[in-house]
Amino acid sequence: MARRREWTQETLVAGVRAGNKLALARAITFVENGDPLALALVRDLFPHTGRAFALGITGPPGVGKSTLISALVRHVRARGETVGVISVDPSSPFSQGALLGDRIRLADHFLDEGVFIRSMGTRGHLGGLAEATLQAMLVLDAAGKDLLFLETVGTGQSEVEVGGIADTVLLVLMPGSGDSVQALKAGIMEIPDVIAVNKMDHPAAKTLLNEVRSILSLDREREWRPPIVLTEALREENIAELWEAVERHRAFLGEEGRLESRRRTKLAGEVFAVASSRAKQHLERAVSGDPELRRLLDEVHERRLDPLSAVRAIMERVFKLEDEKRADAA
């Protein structure tokens, strides 16, 4: 195993670009640890990114996302495409608490040179999880992976919004989860591009399919109508059909410059998300390190200063920001 001191910025960039697994693993560890080398690395790699097709896989915990990803990896590998998988779902078998069966199935992929799988912890990222995920995706992209799969939990449950990073978003649902129509609507409102109804053998699969169809039919304005595919990930059933649906959306994006304009919007959104998370960290450090700011919080607790006046004082002190949006009415 290469030790940290053996990697320089140059050897790491070269190793990543050659798709070397050790270099990739090390680069993403630097990213996760917020190592200064990670920033330099991403800067050097960035001109070589933008080639990979990024599929986001999202959905509630327990619907079988990881098993589906495992089956999709097998499918695309059989077609000769290389793939990088990043999971930011803490309940994913890629992360922990895996079912033994899943682990065994995943183990195949870990031995395959054309596959790189990495779970990003949801804690302890110095620069925030959104930032680390963006960097990890760029590293895998620069490594020449044809496909990037990003696993997240859905609808605002995660710091990382898959819709902000992926080219195509696959929403995975399962029947019999007792989700109310409202909950279902909320998931579908996120506007997935493809929907998989997994565990298709479940007696309620048809009901869920119809519910999803009727929710989608409410939105007639949409240029792209998300296909719905019934799957049984554990038995790898309908995986080819699911992939075909993903590819159809990819082809759709390829027309009329849609992919370019989508990526422009998403990259801008990502930059904004990272900046926003940095501002939050800065605030955290400032408040914890400044006795004057801590005194303000004491005054709030004693009800001598109201919370919003405290906020204003903090903004002025930490960000040199005057309250710009509201005049003082007093």
Contacts of a copy of itself in 20-49 (CB under 8 A): 34-37, 39-40, 42-43, 46-47, 49
Both tokens of 47, joined, read 């001109």
Give the binding range for a copy of itself (CB under 8 A) out of 69-77, 213-221, 241-249, 302-310. Answer: 302-310
The residues in 257-276 that bind a copy of itself, with binding defined as CB under 8 A, are 263-264, 267-268, 270-272, 274-276
Q: Does residue 252 contact residue 224 with C-beta atoms inside 8 Å?
A: yes
Q: Work out whether the CA dihedral 251, 256, 260, 266 comes out positive or negative.
A: negative
Residue 134 CB, shortest distance to a copy of itself, in Å, is 6
Residue 240 CB, shortest distance to a copy of itself, in Å, is 27
Among the listed residues 126, 213, 218, 256, the single contact to a copy of itself using CB under 8 A: 126
Q: Judged by CB under 8 A, does residue 214 bind a copy of itself? A: no
Among the listed residues 120, 171, 174, 246, the single contact to a copy of itself using CB under 8 A: 174
Give the binding range for a copy of itself (CB under 8 A) out of 15-23, 163-171, 208-216, 322-330. Answer: 322-330
Nearest of 93, 84, 214, 226 to residue 163 by alpha carbon: 226
Among the listed residues 6, 22, 62, 257, the single contact to a copy of itself using CB under 8 A: 62
Q: Work out whether the CA dihedral 159, 131, 143, 1 comes out positive or negative.
A: negative
- 3-state SS class at 214: helix
Q: How many residues bind a copy of itself (CB under 8 A)?
A: 83
Which residue has tokens 């989700």? 179
Element (H, E) at 321: none
Torsion angle of C-alpha atoms 180, 182, 187, 190, degrees rounded to 10: 170
**Cα 228 from Cα 230, distance rounded (Å):** 7
Among the listed residues 177, 190, 216, 227, the single contact to a copy of itself using CB under 8 A: 177
Give the binding range for a copy of itself (CB under 8 A) out of 169-177, 210-218, 224-232, 250-258. Answer: 169-177
Q: Between residues 121 and 244, which has the closer beta carbon with respect to a copy of itself?
A: 121
Phi, psi of 66, rounded to the nearest 5 degrees? -70, -40
Q: Judged by CB under 8 A, does residue 330 bind a copy of itself? A: yes
Among the listed residues 86, 88, 134, 230, the single contact to a copy of itself using CB under 8 A: 134
Q: Judged by CB under 8 A, does residue 183 bind a copy of itself? A: yes
- Burial of 264: CB neighbours in 10 Å, binned 0-12, 13-18, 19+: exposed
Give the binding range for a copy of itself (CB under 8 A) out of 77-85, 155-163, 213-221, 248-256. Answer: 155-163
Q: Does residue 169 contact residue 56 with C-beta atoms inside 8 Å?
A: yes
Which residue has tokens 């790189």? 116
